A and B are shown apart, each in its own frame.
Chain A
């Protein structure tokens, strides 16, 4: 991973974080579909990134979002879980021949079908943990499940749109 792509990723983290805090914080379609677009920045780090920096990134990003959401710890908990699952899930769905060292798990490199099967389960796991923690003690598991399903679908949809619009196609393909 070279210096230029590091700068790009930091830029991505900041922009998506700002969008999350300023625009998407109060958005919930029909009261159940939330959008956690900042997760895209955790999901699009290169496949070769070691587990520990990824965990630290997930935790600190989650904590930052938490501070603005006034839900201290919940985003951090769920985002760390997502960052923990990511390498394992990447291994499970690796294409034949494995990944290049420089492969980025994005639509432009891996295709839309692969991207959905990569991001949806991870974001669903995030949402499930998030809403279960949020509703802890109220014993309303079905609501949490319902919210998680629609939120993850909505987030993946928005993630695809963001990538199609703003991510550079690689090597002029």
Chain B
């Protein structure tokens, strides 16, 4: 018995090494499981505020660009508003539940972002006290950015579209064929569009937008433009489509968050009918 203990004692460094590595692997697995609660991440108060201080300094240098983007955004909103301004007449439209807004929008600033790894995340400066909830969609004036994963009181962490585990329900704008956009981990400007059948007549230059099926994003938010179409070697039934993302992830500074107010109802319906929903 003593000799076993002596033997173990002589191996103590190696045993500690194994223990620490197992802990680290457990943390990685736990943190990457979609339902797992993430305790240590950048949405905690101290780390979030440190990252915010850093981005306070860094963002100062891109203010001019941010202003320009806001002006363009305002202009397009004004143009859209023009269509809604009706000529006053005597017919009154009754408001009922059919006309309630399904989507609510909020704004936030990105305090930390990564794009070089295969699992990229963003930290936003709004948290549960501003009404941010896990599952909200994140986009900016250019296109889709990601989806909120965890929320603390003052900060939230979103999974970036540049994350190999993220699928976004999307469709080709010109013919309405839908598939899923998934990042292949290659470079931050391109992603793959999956599950587009061989028979589909897709063209290079077609726009890819969100489909609105997923209940996270409203229909019609830009994702990218098809830049390459090849035949798929692994699965000849589908096309291998490469899209150039419309969002420049290296410059994501301010984002909008969108919440589907009917998400719970849709989700429980999906669970009842055993449909797995993608995001």
Q: Is the CB of B25 within 8 A of A70?
A: no
| Pick from B21, B38, B123, B185: contact of A138, CB under 8 Å | B185
Q: Is the CB of A28 within 8 A of B54?
A: no
In the complex, chain A residues whose CB is within 8 Å of the CB of B16: 51-52, 55-56
Stretch at the interface among A3-11, A73-81, A99-107: A73-81
Q: Is the CB of B13 within 8 A of A51?
A: yes
Q: Is the CB of A135 within 8 A of B118?
A: yes
Number of interface residues of A (CB under 8 A): 36
Q: Is the CB of B184 within 8 A of A73?
A: no
In the complex, chain B residues whose CB is within 8 Å of the CB of A50: 13
Q: Is the CB of A28 within 8 A of B116?
A: yes
In the bound complex, CA of A56 to CA of B20 (Å): 8
Q: Is the CB of A134 within 8 A of B27?
A: no
Is A25 in contact with chain B by the CB < 8 A criterion?
yes
In the complex, chain A residues whose CB is within 8 Å of the CB of B116: 28, 31, 34
| Pick from A52, A66, A70, A84: contact of B114, CB under 8 Å | A70
Q: Is the CB of A73 within 8 A of B24?
A: yes
In the complex, chain A residues whose CB is within 8 Å of the CB of B24: 59, 62-63, 73-74, 76-77, 80
- Distance (whole angstroms) from the CB of B36 to the closest CB of chain A: 10
Is B40 in contact with chain A by the CB < 8 A criterion?
yes
Q: Is the CB of B38 within 8 A of A72?
A: yes
In the bound complex, CA of A55 to CA of B54 (Å): 30
**Nearest CB in chain B to that of A72: its residue:** B31
Within 8 A of B (CB), among A1-32: 21-22, 25-26, 28, 31
Q: A68-B47, A71-B117, A135-B118 are in contact. Are A59 and B20 (CB under 8 A)?
A: yes
In the complex, chain A residues whose CB is within 8 Å of the CB of B44: 67
- Distance (whole angstroms) from the CB of B231 to the closest CB of chain A: 21
Is B28 in contact with chain A by the CB < 8 A criterion?
yes
- Distance (whole angstroms) from the CB of A49 to the closest CB of chain B: 12
Q: A52-B13, A84-B17 are in contact. Are A77 and B164 (CB under 8 A)?
A: no
In the bound complex, CA of A25 to CA of B121 (Å): 13
Is B140 in contact with chain A by the CB < 8 A criterion?
no
**Nearest CB in chain A to that of B113: its residue:** A26
Q: Is the CB of B118 within 8 A of A134?
A: yes
Is A69 in contact with chain B by the CB < 8 A criterion?
yes
Binding site for A on B (CB under 8 A): 12-14, 16-17, 20-21, 23-28, 30-31, 38, 40-42, 44, 47, 50-51, 54, 112-114, 116-119, 121, 123, 157, 164, 184-188
In addition to A55-B16, A73-B27, A140-B185, 11 A-B residue pairs with Cβ atoms within 8 Å of each other are: A31-B187, A55-B17, A66-B27, A67-B47, A68-B42, A68-B50, A68-B112, A71-B119, A80-B17, A135-B185, A143-B185
